[in-house]
Amino acid sequence: SAVISQKPSRDICQRGTSLTIQCQVDSQVTMMFWYRQQPGQSLTLIATANQGSEATYESGFVIDKFPISRPNLTFSTLTVSNMSPEDSSIYLCSVDLTTSGRAYNEQFFGPGTRLTVL
Amino acid sequence: AQSVTQPDIHITVSEGASLELRCNYSYGATPYLFWYVQSPGQGLQLLLKYFSGDTLVQGIKGFEAEFKRSQSSFNLRKPSVHWSDAAEYFCAVGHTGRRALTFGSGTRLQVQP
C-alpha cells in the first residue's frame, strides 16, 4: 500500500488567482494521476504524471490551465490557474503501485484538496 | 472506450438489511474492476478489486463482489448493512492499456436505523 498526503486539505480562493496543490507519497512510484471531483459528481481524470516526462492530459484539460510538475518519484504538484467558480472541486492525486510480475495493481488515493473559488 | 454505469444514484436500506449495488462496464477485453467507498469529507478507500481468477472477490468491511462476464457486471454486496456503511460508492474500471481508472457516477447509500 501507500500513504499519500496532499496539501492544502482545503482552500478558499478568489477568482483569477492560482493555487498549487502538492501530493507526497511515502514510496517511489512511476505513475501518478490527478483527478477532479466536481460537487456531487464522480471522478474525472485530469492528467497522468510520469517522472521525467511531460504530463499527459485528458480531453478537456490543458496544460495552461492545469500545469503539473513531477520532479521526482515521490512528489507531484497540480496548479489550478486563473481560477473561476467552475473550478470549485475536490482534487485528488493517486498512485499506481503496479509491481513487476503483476499486470495491474490498485490505485491509492490521497485525501483530496477541497477547493472553493469565490 | 471503456465506460462504467452505476444505474442507482441513491439507495436507502435499513440497518441489518442486505445490500446490492449495481455496476455495469463496457470494455472489449477483460477489465480490471474496483469498488471504492468515499465517506463524507473523506478520500477514496478501496473496498475490493478483481483482476482475474475467482469471480467472487472478498473485500474489507464485509463486502464482496461478483464478476459476471456474460452480464458485464461487477455488483457489490453486503449481507447486513451497518449505519457506518452510509457513504458514496464508486465502481471503477481499468485495463492494461490504460493505468488510470474510469469511474462510474457513484451510488449514494443511506442507512435507516
Kindly report, residue by residue over B35-69, the tens digit of the pLDDT: 999 988 778 999 999 988 889 999 999 999 999 99
Question: How does pLDDT run across A42-65, given as a tens digit for each residue?
Answer: 899 999 998 888 899 999 999 999
Residue B61's DSSP bridge partners are: none
- CATH code for residues B3-112: 2.60.40.10
Does the pLDDT of residue A102 top 60, yes or no? no
Domains and CATH numbers, chain A: 10-117 (2.60.40.10)
Is B32 close to A96, i.e. CB distance below 8 A? no
Decide: residue B13, CB within 10 A, 0-12 exposed, 13-18 middle, 19+ buried: middle
Contact state of B105 with A104 under an 8 Å Cβ cutoff:
no
Report yes or no: B93 and B5 within 8 Å, Cβ to Cβ.
no
Distance (Å, whole) CA B39 – CA B5: 20
* Domain ranges for chain B: 3-112
Q: How far is B18 from chain A (nearest CA, A)?
A: 25
Residue A104 in this model has a pLDDT that exceeds 80:
no
CA B99, CA A33: separation in Å to the nearest integer? Answer: 9
Per-residue pLDDT tens over the stretch B20-29:
999 999 876 7
Question: Among residues A53, A24, A15, A49, which one has the least CA distance to residue A35?
Answer: A49
CA–CA distance, A22 with A8 (Å, rounded to integer):
7
The rounded Cα B5 to chain-centroid distance in angstroms is 11
Cα nearest neighbour of A106 on chain B: B49
* Phi, psi angle pair for A87, to nearest 5°: -85, -5
